């Protein structure tokens, strides 16, 4: 039986997933990545670490197969926006600036002034935000001119892994559309934006289809991974696009809420639809002729992880700390006794578009215990995601239910919390591997194992019983959510 390998370059680690033609997991492993923060608001990782972690994760996943894996194709996924700077010999120039790096406010202002807000809407379908790739290139030009002089190509993390696997420099529409250098509506690099910012079109790689073969595993990579050379490598997709595929969200009508390091609410569309206020993003899906609108909060699972490891670390016992904190939070009433958490630990995108925003506990008193803080953190993250849900509602996108993936799908308490806060039923699928599973399916489609991405999802995914929203609980969340919404405007000038 043929098997398909998905590799997802996340922020906290690289995940490798080996699945068969029915979508069953044959092996999976994650190799951790470290986040470097040289200054507040900065975030970097070295691309060489992406490759080393990929090798480690793939070898560990392959070792779990009871017989030698017959890998028919490889699919790739990875964190969006993150800039990998390469010289003419495809060598890494410096550590990559990550999607959550907020150092490029001045560059974003310059882009908006130079291209114009209307020009950005027309040519990129998005505003200039600190996390995007283009501002990072301009930051390099201004602040590290010697490094910029060496710059020949800028690629995304998964595309750097493609380079290591195949020797091919390429990307695909879902990642390209998140660079601010791509015409999302017309699906081609924007010569208008590149000319306006005085960057050559040679800086960006060729674009291939997400479910098309982009290259083949070369001898050096095959030896490193323990696989035969020549395996096709698909174009792949951005982590959010692959995460949507991983839960079967490939056509308009539904939406998915994802908790990774960041948090997203994503709804596919049949044409490029742009939020009038540009609070949400419009990107290409990894499914042909499909786009999506997405709201993004920069720290969702990342905020909970920070709280767990920094504030609640003294709670460590023999039990799982995530489980313990969730259980404690479940015992606290709605609203956490007047305590509110703002999850803006690395700035925020939707709806505030403010790289300088920061996190806060507001309303602390001697009456509050760790359980109240845990509840406030989980409520704050969910309120931040509700901001995006409300934008999609205002755009008249159909939202009958929300599919869940990532950390927010694993806990029954957090699933119910989301259903009650959003006022919508939420639903899991039978696969929990998210972007890595979506990447594996793209690989399978690229070699003809399935006729299309929707066909691959239909053959491998089924849905679990939905978690219904409690009407009384949804009403009870109205006041805590209103309090949450009031705090950013009150504190914005103080960060």
Among the residues of 167-238, which ranges form H helices? Answer: 173-176, 191-196, 219-225
Among the residues of 410-452, which ranges form H helices? Answer: 412-422, 435-446
Q: Is 175 assigned a catalytic role?
A: no
> Considering 239, 275, 387, 420, which one is annotated as catalytic?
239
β-bridge partners, 258: 264, 405
> If we measure between CA atoms, which residue out of 10, 401, 405, 76 comes closest to residue 244?
405
Structure tokens at 384: 């931040």
Q: How many CB atoms lie within 10 A of CB 245?
A: 34
CA–CA separation, 325 and 378 (whole Å) = 10
β-bridge partners, 266: 256, 294
CA–CA separation, 290 and 159 (whole Å) = 21
Residues 6+ apart with CB under 8 A from 13: 30, 31, 32, 33, 53, 57
Structure tokens at 95: 């550590």
Let me know: does 370 contact 328? Beta carbons within 8 Å: yes
How close are the terminal C-alpha atoms of the chain, in Å?
56
> If we measure between CA atoms, which residue out of 165, 176, 238 comes closest to residue 207?
176
Q: How many CB atoms lie within 10 A of CB 398?
A: 11
> If we measure between CA atoms, which residue out of 175, 281, 255 comes closest to residue 424?
255
Of how many residues is the chain composed? 495
Let me know: does 395 contact 268? Beta carbons within 8 Å: no
Catalytic positions: 239
């Amino acid at each position: 039986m043929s098997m398909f390998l998905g590799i997802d370059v996340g922020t906290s680690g690289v995940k490798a997933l080996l699945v068969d033609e029915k979508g069953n997991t044959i092996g999976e492993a994650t190799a951790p990545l470290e986040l470097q923060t040289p200054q507040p608001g900065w975030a970097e990782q070295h691309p060489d670490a992406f490759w080393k972690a990929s090798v480690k994760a793939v070898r560990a996943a392959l070792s779990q197969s009871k017989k030698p894996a017959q890998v028919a194709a490889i699919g790739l996924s990875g964190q969006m926006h993150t800039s990998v700077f390469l010289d003419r010999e495809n060598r890494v120039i410096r550590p990559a600036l990550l999607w959550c790096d907020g150092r490029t406010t001045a560059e974003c202002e310059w882009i908006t002034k130079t291209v114009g807000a209307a020009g950005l809407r027309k040519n990129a379908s998005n505003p200039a935000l600190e996390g995007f790739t283009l501002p990072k290139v301009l930051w390099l030009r201004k602040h590290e001119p010697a490094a910029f002089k060496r710059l020949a190509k800028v690629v995304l993390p998964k595309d750097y892994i493609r380079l290591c696997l195949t020797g091919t420099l390429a990307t695909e529409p879902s990642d390209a559309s998140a660079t601010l250098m791509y015409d999302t509506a017309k699906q081609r690099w924007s010569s208008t934006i590149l000319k306006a910012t005085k960057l050559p079109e040679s800086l960006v790689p060729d674009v291939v289809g997400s479910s098309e073969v982009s290259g083949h595993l070369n001898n050096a990579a095959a030896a490193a991974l323990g696989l035969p050379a020549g395996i096709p490598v698909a174009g792949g997709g951005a982590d959010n696009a692959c995460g949507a595929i991983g839960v079967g969200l490939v056509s308009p009508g539904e939406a998915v809420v994802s908790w990774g390091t960041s948090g997203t609410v994503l709804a596919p569309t049949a044409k490029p639809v742009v939020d009038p206020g540009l609070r949400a993003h419009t990107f290409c899906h990894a499914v042909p002729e499909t786009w999506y609108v997405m709201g993004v909060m920069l720290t969702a699972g990342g905020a909970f992880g920070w709280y767990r490891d920094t504030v609640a670390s003294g709670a460590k016992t023999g039990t799982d700390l995530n489980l313990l904190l969730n259980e404690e939070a479940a015992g606290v009433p709605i609203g956490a006794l007047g305590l509110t958490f703002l999850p803006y630990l690395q700035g925020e995108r939707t709806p505030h578009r403010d790289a300088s925003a920061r996190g806060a506990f507001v309303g602390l008193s001697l009456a509050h215990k760790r359980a109240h803080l845990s509840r406030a953190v989980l409520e704050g993250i969910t309120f931040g995601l509700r901001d995006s849900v409300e934008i999609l509602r205002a755009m008249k996108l159909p939202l009958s239910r929300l599919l869940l993936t990532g950390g927010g799908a694993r806990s029954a308490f957090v699933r119910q919390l989301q259903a009650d806060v959003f006022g919508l039923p939420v639903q899991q699928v039978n696969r929990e591997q998210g972007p890595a599973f979506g990447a594996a399916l793209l690989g399978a489609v690229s070699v003809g194992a399935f006729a299309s991405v929707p066909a691959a999802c239909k053959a491998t995914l089924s849905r679990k019983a939905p978690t219904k929203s409690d009407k009384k609980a949804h009403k009870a969340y109205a006041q805590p959510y209103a309090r949450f919404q009031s705090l950013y405007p009150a504190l914005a000038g103080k960060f």
